[in-house]
Amino acid sequence: MSERRGRGMTAPGRNAHLDKKPVNKRATILRLLKYMLNFKWLLLLALLLTIASNAFALIGPRLSGAAIDCIGKEGGVDFRGVAHYALLMLLFYLGSSLFSYLLSILMVHISRKVTLRMRRDLFNRLCDVPVGFIDTHPVGDLISRIFYDTDTINTSLSSDVVHVMASMITIVGSFFMMLSISPPLLIVSAITIPISLLLTTQITKRTQPLFRLRSRKMGELNDFSEEMISGLKTLKAYNQEDNTLNSLDELNEEVVSSYYKSEYYSSMMGPSVNLVNNLSMALLSVFGAMMFMNGKISVGNISSFVQYSRRFSGPINEIANIYGELQSAIAAADRVFTLMDEPLEKADCENAKILENVQGEVEMQDVSFSYDKVKPVLKHLSFQARSGALIAIVGPTGAGKTTLINLLMRFYDIDSGRVTVDGHEIDQLTRDSLRRAYSMVLQDTWLFSGTIYDNIAYAKPGATREEVEQVAKAARIHNYIMSLPEGYDTIITDDGANISKGQKQLLTIARAMLLDAHMLILDEATSNVDTRTEVQIQKAMRRLMQDKTCFVVAHRLSTIKNADLILVVKDGNVIERGTHQELMRQGGFYRELYDAQFA
């Protein structure tokens, strides 16, 4: 199990191409800004609050220097002047704090709106990508991108972006304040700036890929956890707890290791820049004292310059400290945008027709198909289904039965040949109208959290209780539902974890029977019910689906004896066709399959 899951499905094989390209930091930031510009007026207000908050704060050191000069004036201390400047400092700092508080609230509001829109766009994208994409990518990784990565972006937007904006304004404002006080001291202070930039650049190159790796490993761990929890009963039945824990330890170690490395290298940024800033302060102290001794600067101005120097270097140090979080947010945004850039399902052709007044005449002519364009799954397959006929598709595992159904629904496009419905080639029809013409029940049942009534009525919004009960009776699930304390109002939780698999399948069958579609697909849909119930369901469906074309993929051949046409598929070809009696008389492969089930 460790090798199969821990090193196979979630690693390079299934989602590697989603993360194979390097992070384009500039493009990612620009796309993130485009999302934020959807709320440009709120952003403008945030910018004004940032400018006001930092402008008020930047006036404080100049007032402080003036107050110090009042103390050192000839003739004694100017207490009135000190009090005047102290009061102004208090007002300006209070104003700065108020604007900063309002800014924080506003940025939380903006980040929430951006995250909401981003998640909605991700869900919309997943709804529009080809089915093949979902089939080949782990669910855990997709969930990680939708929730974990967007949460990371949300956290960064609500706090880190505020700090960066404030820091940039503080750096620019402090620069001009220092320039107005003493250009020579500014030159001394600027000596250490290239060193800070060099350190930042070098550490960035090392940490950027580590944060992307961290996000990918978290996705792999989520996928593994989701798979193991969903298969917990099987895991226990085969006594694989220890092996599973070993696999979890391996993945968890990789996640922890990626977190440690990314945080370790990013945490070097703050102390390194802080060391350079302290060096700058030492130089300022020496040269400031020399200038004071020569009468070129006052003590108050030295004090103001030192404070501005701190404000100039402090934001650089702060940006360095939160740089790891920013890198993590950029890596998360890149993973989100990579998913958004996945190719959409092939668009309907120009002038595509809407399938209306469906009769259910389905035909495949010389159809060939392969998933990887190398190994064919279906080869030159042909058949015709009359309107209202029951078509059964049988054959060994891997023969192409489910693939045939995927092609009918146009989840995949054929490589060659023709597939028609009522004489219309399906690639000339809109996908929406084609899929609405079918109702479908799969072997893998799906129920959502809600009442039993809601789950059955899902296929037909606005269905009455009488309609729901009618199909429930036909599907042989009504009596069970009525035995529950709340009847049709019973809440189903966690994909129907509180009911049996057979009952779940009967509910999905009832759901499909309720849908007013002209064609029905059952892909081994009765595999979880007993033989007697399956026969009863087939009879009920034949009664309710009169004049509608039905396609049934079945393993239990005893349940398709009444099919109008049985297609025997093997190695991608229809090797036999006919009714049950005709195929039994032929004594071919179908007869072998049938006899094997009763041997």
Best CA proximity match to 407, nearest among 444, 388, 387, 379 = 379
Best CA proximity match to 215, nearest among 492, 50, 47, 23 = 23
Instruction: List all residues 6 or more positions away from 40 whose beta carbon is below 8 Å from its beta carbon.
Output: none
DSSP helix/strand/coil, 450? strand
Q: Is 384 part of a structural domain of the chain?
A: yes
**Claim: this prediction has a pTM higher than 0.85:** no
56 and 138 co-located in one domain = yes
Instruction: List all residues 6 or more positions away from 325 whose beta carbon is below 8 Å from its beta carbon.
Output: 155, 156, 160
Residue span of the structural domain in which 306 resides = 2-17+25-340
363 and 307 co-located in one domain = no
Distance in angstroms (rounded) separating the CA atoms of residues 32 and 147:
16
Q: Is 473 part of a structural domain of the chain?
A: no
Residue 170 near residue 277 (C-beta atoms within 8 A): no
367 and 331 co-located in one domain = no
Q: How many structural domains are present in the chain?
A: 2
Residue 527 near residue 443 (C-beta atoms within 8 A): yes
Q: Please give, one letter per residue, the 3-state secondary structure of 89-115.
A: HHHHHHHHHHHHHHHHHHHHHHHHHHH
Q: What is the pLDDT of residue 314?
A: 66
For 310, other C-beta atoms within 10 Å of its C-beta total 17
CATH number at residue 584: 3.40.50.300
Residue 166 near residue 55 (C-beta atoms within 8 A): no
Q: Order the strands of the 424-425 sheet from edge to edge.
A: 378-385, 362-369, 416-421, 424-425
For 105, other C-beta atoms within 10 Å of its C-beta total 11
Q: Is 139 part of a structural domain of the chain?
A: yes
Q: Is 225 part of a structural domain of the chain?
A: yes
284 and 402 co-located in one domain = no
Q: Is 589 part of a structural domain of the chain?
A: yes
Instruction: List all residues 6 or more positions away from 170 whose beta carbon is below 8 Å from its beta carbon.
Output: 54, 57, 58, 311, 312, 314, 315
295 and 387 co-located in one domain = no
Distance in angstroms (rounded) separating the CA atoms of residues 485 and 475:
20
Query: How open is the CA angle 106-107-109, to the nearest 5 degrees?
Result: 65
Q: What is the pLDDT of residue 77?
A: 66
The one-digit pLDDT tens for each residue of the chain (599 residues) are 333 333 333 333 344 455 555 567 788 888 888 888 888 888 889 889 988 888 888 888 888 777 777 776 555 667 787 788 889 889 988 998 999 899 888 888 888 888 888 888 888 888 888 887 877 777 777 888 888 888 888 877 777 777 777 778 888 887 888 888 888 887 877 777 777 777 777 776 777 677 778 777 877 887 787 777 777 767 777 777 788 888 888 888 888 888 787 777 777 776 777 777 777 777 777 777 788 777 777 777 777 777 777 777 667 666 766 766 777 788 888 888 888 888 888 878 888 888 888 888 898 888 888 887 778 888 888 888 888 888 888 888 777 777 888 888 888 888 889 999 988 999 898 988 888 888 888 777 778 888 889 888 887 878 889 989 988 888 888 988 999 888 999 888 766 666 777 788 788 888 888 877 888 888 776 666 676 766 666 666 666 666 778 888 877 776 678 888 888 888 778 888 888 899 988 888 888 888 887 65
Residue 199 near residue 272 (C-beta atoms within 8 A): yes
Q: What is the pLDDT of residue 3?
A: 35
| CA dist list (Å): 512 to 195, 460, 468 | 68, 9, 11
DSSP helix/strand/coil, 581? helix
DSSP helix/strand/coil, 585? helix
255 and 379 co-located in one domain = no
Q: Is 514 part of a structural domain of the chain?
A: no
For 516, other C-beta atoms within 10 Å of its C-beta total 10
Q: What is the pLDDT of residue 318?
A: 67
DSSP helix/strand/coil, 2? helix
Indicate the angle between helix axes 193-230 and 323-340, nearest 10 degrees.
50
Instruction: List all residues 6 or more positions away from 452 whose beta carbon is below 8 Å from its beta carbon.
Output: 481, 484, 487, 488, 489, 490, 492, 507
41 and 179 co-located in one domain = yes
Q: What is the pLDDT of residue 12?
A: 34
Best CA proximity match to 354, nearest among 411, 421, 439, 433 = 433
Residue 384 near residue 574 (C-beta atoms within 8 A): no
155 and 269 co-located in one domain = yes
Distance in angstroms (rounded) separating the CA atoms of residues 440 and 459:
10
Q: What is the pLDDT of residue 40?
A: 84
Q: What is the pLDDT of residue 18?
A: 57
Residue 426 near residue 354 (C-beta atoms within 8 A): no
For CA atoms 114, 130, 357, 350, give the dihedral sign. positive
What is the CA 133 to chain-centroid distance, rounded?
Answer: 13
Q: What is the pLDDT of residue 158?
A: 74
DSSP helix/strand/coil, 394? strand
Which of 311, 340, 369 lies at the terminal end of a domain, its last residue? Answer: 340
Q: Is 281 part of a structural domain of the chain?
A: yes
301 and 378 co-located in one domain = no
With 0-12 / 13-18 / 19 or more C-beta atoms within 10 angstroms meaning exposed / middle / buried, residue 253 is exposed
Best CA proximity match to 33, nearest among 141, 165, 147 = 165
140 and 67 co-located in one domain = yes
Residue located via tokens 């033989």: 531
Distance in angstroms (rounded) separating the CA atoms of residues 410 and 427:
8
320 and 377 co-located in one domain = no
Which of 280, 313, 340 lies at the terminal end of a domain, its last residue? Answer: 340
330 and 362 co-located in one domain = no
Q: Is 365 part of a structural domain of the chain?
A: yes
Best CA proximity match to 300, nearest among 82, 124, 582 = 82
Residue located via tokens 């960066």: 164
Which of 340, 374, 395 lies at the terminal end of a domain, its last residue? Answer: 340
CATH number at residue 253: 1.20.1560.10
> Which amino acid, one-letter code, is at 420?
T
Q: Count Cα atoms within 13 angstroms, Cβ side, for 123.
A: 7
Q: What is the pLDDT of residue 94?
A: 92
Q: Please give, one letter per residue, the 3-state secondary structure of 335-375.
A: HHHHHHCCCCCCCCCCCCECCCCCCCCEEEEEEEECCCCCC
DSSP helix/strand/coil, 51? helix
